[in-house]
């Protein structure tokens, strides 16, 4: 079925010649044409992708490790301590870690102790006889 639309307000004049009626496509054809026009645009837009990442492999330090550093760390970053993800988790506050000749901030996080009764000894920064030393945090 084809529908012709004619503008009843249109009057012909030398400056305004008569126009042919506009032809509309049937409903299904119009929807198909619109969908075909939208698909490429939708393909280019970023969508919401939810992916579950596996937990990173835990590195358990059971002895303090010392590194001579060239400078003291910057001031700590203020952090929000959220709710523990489950029973048995403890909060390990964020800290600066010496890596590749510079300080890198490690965000605070919840972690389960590696064995019952273990406690976290946080990293510390010391000056010994004029030498700056970073002592890595570890489980004791």
The pLDDT tens digits of the residues spanning 94-124 come to 999 998 899 999 999 999 999 999 999 999 9
Low-confidence ranges of the chain (pLDDT < 50): 48-57
The pLDDT score that the predictor gives to residue 72 is 85
Burial of 112 (0-12, 13-18, 19+ CB in 10 A): middle
The pLDDT score that the predictor gives to residue 65 is 86
Q: What is the DSSP letter of 76?
A: P
* pTM of the predicted protein model: 0.53
How far the first Cα of the chain sits from its last, in Å, is: 82
The pLDDT score that the predictor gives to residue 40 is 66
Assess contact for 125 and 59: CB atoms under 8 A.
Answer: no
Tokens of residue 30, six digits: 């119009």
């Amino acid at each position: 079925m084809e529908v012709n639309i004619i503008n009843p307000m249109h009057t012909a004049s030398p400056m305004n010649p008569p126009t042919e009626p506009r032809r509309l496509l049937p409903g299904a054809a119009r929807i198909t044409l619109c969908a075909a026009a939208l698909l490429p645009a939708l393909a280019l837009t970023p969508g919401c992708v939810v992916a579950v990442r596996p937990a990173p492999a835990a590195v358990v330090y059971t002895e303090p490790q010392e590194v001579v550093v060239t400078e003291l760390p910057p001031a700590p970053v203020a952090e929000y301590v959220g709710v523990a993800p489950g029973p048995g988790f403890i909060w390990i506050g964020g800290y600066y870690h010496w890596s590749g000749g510079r300080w890198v901030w490690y965000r605070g996080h919840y972690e389960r102790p590696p064995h019952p009764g273990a406690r976290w000894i946080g990293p510390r920064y010391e000056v010994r006889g004029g030498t700056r030393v970073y002592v890595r945090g570890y489980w004791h």
